[in-house]
Structure 1
């Protein structure tokens, strides 16, 4: 359901008990609040909106809701993070990588691109804990600025792929979304598969050369093409004489409990001699 629809049909009048915690995409949100209220909302959706997808998150705390205002959570967090200034570094010697320091950052806290005027300090991180996550707005801003079409999700299991695709629908684009881990699947296979998909994607190389001023944007098509994947031929390459076939198959099961002993003959079909 859309954010406006959820506020009007589900949360109207109970904003003090439940609220929107995350705006995932143009038609998906996450609710947070009192457990009993969430149970009632789940029952309401099942009754009046059976076609709406819903899933319960297995967490103990109602983040991004009024419950974060209790137990001095804000005071403790601000005190713990008070040393974080969150301002851009001016001295290149303090930068881990000067090129990375020039990267454009998008924030789900403000729902858009972070400017140098917005300090990522303790108050910023408290806002991240207390208020709704504007994931849809952040991804939509990336799509609008045409800054990225490839996403690498760093999480124990990919959960954002559907939301990202829905955010890109209005831009008529199909982003490439790759996981780093998948639940109950081999970790090395997952990360190496994503790495392989990156290496064959023209978009990643175009972005690489553009950001390093190697090629201008209007020269991309002259240097890149969508090469087809290797066409594997699945025909058998096992060449074997008739005599070899007979000998190999005959030695596979020497004695059958019912038919007896398999005979070596000039026929490719099996013949047996009863004991």
Structure 2
């Protein structure tokens, strides 16, 4: 059994310790039991959906590792974009949130930098998996792409996507891919299964008008569905017109052997990262995201801990449902949350991982801290003062 107390001052520390001693659950007193299975976690990198105005700003000011990696990502992106990634995050206007050619590179930089923070705290991934454009960050962290090549892929591919803006959309629905396939058969050639995120989590992509009609049907039948905030139809035939441009733009990249296993959500299986060439990155944008299959594959290989590297959890529910259906008792943890994106939130996520068995080195986040002597059993008759 493990416990972690998160506190900013003595009063908070004492209150959390009181709650811990009384068995009360609070956000600042986390408890858990060390789980079995592979102790190395899977780092998970989502596609779009995690972005929010102000994300990463607190962490830029509070975490040197995050700030340093964001600066590196900014330099890598600088060859391809005319804006500064840190400047965009600090921009209070939010106009960039509607531009795919800004949102995707910014999310890429945030995900790569969050992974650097987790690793600086001693949490090393046993594998990585990405969802849609999140695979670009996963490839960089795995060692399969250099930071510079990752920047090229995300910047030029998202720029190409602007051609499709205003001509389509995507909808997330709480239903299995089999059921969704039967529904969308009524719109042949106009709607496609874009992503399978879990046993009851599917995304549909296609023409805006067809999606409107589908939502009316689902509303009438009481099916839970929501629009994904994009105005284009990736993972559908609409992407085909971008093929030659993407292949040409990304032809110069040089994929490398991975240092961390890379599980593809295109194939649902581990891949040799030396095959992550321009053709792969077009396929990644065009074909269905088989994220559920990738999670099942990883669970079957003994992985039970999944850590999402994002500014807000997007895939946790799908992962939890997939593990549950596979009969795996797993650990699924995010990094930051919408409007709660500072160091304290990240430390809470690290604490949850630690209480369930992952080894965490707190030194990089608490450089002035030191270990203190505490009682190890109930009848050790000594006083300890805080």
TM-score for the superposition, normalised by structure 2: 0.46
Q: Distance in 1 between matches of 2:229 and 2:278?
A: 27
Q: Give the aligned CA root-mean-square deviation in angstroms.
A: 1.9
1:6 maps to what in 2?
A: 180
Q: Equivalent residue of 1:56, what SS?
A: strand
Is there any run of 5+ residues in structure 1 with no aligned partner, and where? 89-100, 206-275
| Deviation readout 1:39-83 (Å, 9 max, x if unpaired) | 1111101112x0x3211111121111122123xx21111111101
Q: Is 2:247 aligned against 1:104?
A: no
Is there any run of 5+ residues in structure 2 with no aligned partner, and where? 1-174, 360-386
What's the CA shift for 1:103?
Answer: 2.6
Q: Is 2:315 aligned against 1:169?
A: no
Number of residue pairs matched by the alignment: 186
Q: Distance in 2 between matches of 1:191 and 1:183?
A: 12
Bigger RCO (CA 8 Å, 6+ sep): 2
2:195 maps to what in 1?
A: 22
Q: Is 2:226 aligned against 1:68?
A: no
Q: Distance in 1 between matches of 2:264 and 2:341?
A: 31
Q: Distance in 1 between matches of 2:351 and 2:230?
A: 34
* Structure 1 segment 1-275 matched on structure 2, within 5 A: 1-8=175-182, 10-48=183-221, 50=222, 52-70=223-241, 73-88=242-257, 101-115=258-272, 119-146=275-302, 148-202=303-357, 204-205=358-359
What's the CA shift for 1:102?
Answer: 4.1
Q: Distance in 2 between matches of 1:167 and 1:111?
A: 13
What's the CA shift for 1:32?
Answer: 0.5
Q: Distance in 2 between matches of 1:3 and 1:132?
A: 11
Structure 1 runs of 4+ aligned residues shifted over 3 Å read: none
* Alignment check: 8 A CA contact 1:85 1:119 kept: no
Greater C-alpha Rg: 1
TM-score for the superposition, normalised by structure 1: 0.63
* Alignment check: 8 A CA contact 1:157 1:181 kept: yes
Q: Distance in 2 between matches of 1:189 and 1:172?
A: 33
What's the CA shift for 1:186?
Answer: 4.0
| Deviation readout 1:160-197 (Å, 9 max, x if unpaired) | 11000111113222322222221111421211111112
